[in-house]
Amino acid sequence: MKVEFTIDEVLAMANSVLDGLSEGDFSSGDAAAIRRWRNEHLTPRSDEMARLTEKVNEEVQRTHDHSMKSGIQKPDWV
């Protein structure tokens, strides 16, 4: 089984996380830095988003592969 997220889907995930961060107790300078970083680097065509999407897809695949292996274990009561 292979699950692969698109750049738009990963961008939506990142925006959701950053929306949650914006509700935190940050100084105005820190909040401005996050907004600036978000506006400059989190765009669908940026290299950062391409790398983030690649990393997310690799991690999802690695986690899935690990769960398939670890699901076949001898019960501890045997």
Provide, rounded to the nearest whole percent, the portion of the chain with pLDDT above 70.
88
Residue percentage of the chain with pLDDT more than 90: 54
Q: Average pLDDT for residues 9-28, to the nearest whole number?
A: 89
Q: Could you tell me if 53 and 4 are in contact, meaning their C-beta atoms sit under 8 angstroms apart?
A: no
Predicted TM-score (pTM) of the model is: 0.75
Q: What is the pLDDT of residues 29-61, one digit of tens each?
A: 998 998 899 999 999 999 999 999 999 999 999
**Is there a contact between 7 and 46 (Cβ–Cβ < 8 Å)?**
no
Per-residue tokens: 53: 């999407």
Q: In a 10 Å sphere around its CB, with 0-12 CB exposed, 13-18 middle and 19+ buried, how is residue 7 labelled?
A: middle
72, pLDDT greater than 70:
no
Assign 75 a pLDDT band (cuts: 50, 70, 90). low
